[in-house]
Amino acid sequence: MSKIPLSKCFINSEVEEAALRALRSGQYILGKESTAFEAELAAHTGTTQTVLGSSWTMIVYCLHQLQGIGPGDEIIVPSHTAFPTMEPLIHLGAKPVFADIDDTYVMDLAHVESLITPRTVGIIGVHLYGHPIDNDKLLAIGKKNNLWVIEDCAQAQGAKYKGKTVGSMGDFGAFSFFPSKNLTVLGDGGCITTNKVDYADRLRMLRNHGRQGKYDHEFTGYNVRFNEINAAIGRVMLKHLDGFNENRRQIAARYNEHLKGIVQTPPVREWATPVYHMYVVRAEKRDDLQKFLKEKNIETGVHYPKPNHLQPAVVGLFPYIPKLPNTEKAVKEILSLPIHGEMTLDAADQVCAAIAEFYGKK
């Protein structure tokens, strides 16, 4: 059996031509391609503003700085997410307060409400694996308690909540273009989406040394700029995003059909249109299954094996370690199966057959 990869980047002649166009333009940082990519991203998401940055982590760090986040502030985040979700907060001296998850792996919003204190200033809701969190409830909690809300859409580009695209409903949306993401620029990169024009304007300055013109620095900033080659590639990728996301849903449907009763397939809420950045099952003998699939030349992953509240970089920062039973149980059982925009149903069938073989099922 040929290798079935966990994920795969899309590259065709249009992508190559876009990269060459940017190379030949003579302008390589924050030029016409970046400006066009920002406008196209805003239109696709349904916001008025998009601000590109060199990575999710750094553009979110800049946003948090503009928000005035610092020591004494508490921000509620899920523990079950990629480490960068809360990394910028720690750099700014703020405290991430970790929430448990529900059965769709996003934050348990009832638990979120119980964590709010007078020091809480905001909530970062992660649309993990491409399944939206309940944005109506999330935003209602934020409004009731006068908290800002950031939608972490790093794994959910193009996902919809009640027909609205994620990243358009909170105060800000934050996206990643890392090579494994649904929308990649074949390199690092990220962006902030918002309807807050004042924040977007200052964020564009902060990412570029705090300057308005070439030699007019209004405040001290950073070099978090985006490059033209990645922007040109991203513009091509964006044209294919919806089609690739639909293919991911078809692969997920095939998995659901053939894996029912063998492993626990991911639930979907009635208001969600997920994009399956990851297709994550819960499985008995997870580690043995993963080893078996590797021997079958099927690549899998565990996202994530260690929750953030148990990470060595975090545990020493706080006087106690929270108990998050749903998270701690899930990380021992979850397994990410192959899925990407160009994956075939035949490949999905091969994965299902191998899993059925492991468990002695037809």
Q: What is the mean pLDDT of the chain?
A: 97
For residues 22 and 30, is the Cβ–Cβ distance under 8 A? no
- End-to-end CA gap in the chain: 19
What one-character-per-residue DSSP string does 60-119 give?
HHHHHHHHT--TT-EEEEESSS-GGGTHHHHHTT-EEEEE-B-TTSSB-HHHHHHT--TT
Which pLDDT does position 198 carry in this prediction? 97
Which pLDDT does position 316 carry in this prediction? 87
3 part of a folded domain: no
Tens digits of residue pLDDT in 109-125: 999 999 999 999 999 99
For residues 279 and 336, is the Cβ–Cβ distance under 8 A? yes
Do 178 and 196 belong together in one domain? yes
Do 19 and 157 belong together in one domain? yes
Q: Which domain holds residue 346?
A: 241-359
Helices 13-25 & 32-45 angle (0-180, nearest 10): 140
How many domains would you assign to the chain? 2
Tens digits of residue pLDDT in 27-79: 999 999 999 999 999 999 999 999 999 999 999 999 999 999 999 999 999 99
Do 89 and 212 belong together in one domain? yes
Which pLDDT does position 212 carry in this prediction? 87
Which pLDDT does position 318 carry in this prediction? 86
pTM of the model: 0.97
CATH (domain of 297):
3.90.1150.10
Do 43 and 22 belong together in one domain? yes
CA distance 341 to 246: 8
Nearest to residue 356, comparing CAs of 306, 281, 304? Answer: 281
For residues 163 and 135, is the Cβ–Cβ distance under 8 A? no
* Residue that is written with structure tokens 């690092």 in the block: 188
Residues of the chain where predicted confidence (pLDDT) is lower than 70 = none
Does an H or E element contain 190, and which? strand 190-194
- What does the angle CA 245 – CA 248 – CA 254 come to, to the nearest 5 degrees? 150
CATH (domain of 201):
3.40.640.10
For residues 42 and 193, is the Cβ–Cβ distance under 8 A? yes
CA distance 12 to 340: 15
CA distance 334 to 326: 12
* Residue that is written with structure tokens 């020091």 in the block: 119
Which pLDDT does position 319 carry in this prediction? 86
Which pLDDT does position 142 carry in this prediction? 98
